[in-house]
Structure 1
Amino acid sequence: MSSLKPTTSRYARRIDTDGTWTVFDAFTGRPAEVGSRQTTGMQMRDAEEMVAILNRIHPVDGASTIH
């Protein structure tokens, strides 16, 4: 068994066709949710900040997904 941890971040951002941004779970491809709010329709800077926060709170080695 390898002791190496994956280097991929769990959460990322993508631009939508309307020019807004979505923060999504890289494991499922689904938009992340914070509380009952989906992280869609965001401005780029807000999406960047949300990605950083979620990756800090829920690192790749976490066992559950956030939806």
Structure 2
Amino acid sequence: MTSQRYDLRKEPDETWTVFDVFTGQPADAWGAPAEYLDEEYSRDLVSVLNLVDLKRRAAPGNL
């Protein structure tokens, strides 16, 4: 099973951050850090980023 690259973190100010589990840093969401998000948007974003990453890793030549 492939591990997911991105996960969610609830911040002390009640906002959410999508972060890279390998670096611990906020994910790069198309040029902007994925932080200070509401819960619904962050859940959608983490799903999209994990899908994009999975497709990238499954592409020919990346296995």
- State the TM bucket, normalised to the shorter chain: 0.7 to 0.9
TM-score of the two chains, using structure 2 as the length reference: 0.80
| Structure 2 gaps, min length 5 | 58-63
Partner Cα separation in structure 2 for residue 19 and residue 35 of structure 1: 23
Equivalences for 1:39-54 in 2 at 5 Å? 39-54=34-49
Question: What percentage of aligned pairs have identical amino acids?
Answer: 32
1:35 shift after superposition? 2.2
1:14 correspondence with 2:9: yes
* Count of residue correspondences: 57
Structure 1 vs Structure 2 CA RMSD: 1.8
TM-score of the two chains, using structure 1 as the length reference: 0.75
User: Which is helix-richer, 1 or 2?
Assistant: 2
Partner Cα separation in structure 2 for residue 41 and residue 47 of structure 1: 9
SS in 2 for 1:23: strand
Q: Pick 1 or 2: higher relative contact order, CA cutoff 8 A, min separation 6.
A: 1
1:33 shift after superposition? 1.0
| Moved >3 Å (runs of 4+) | none
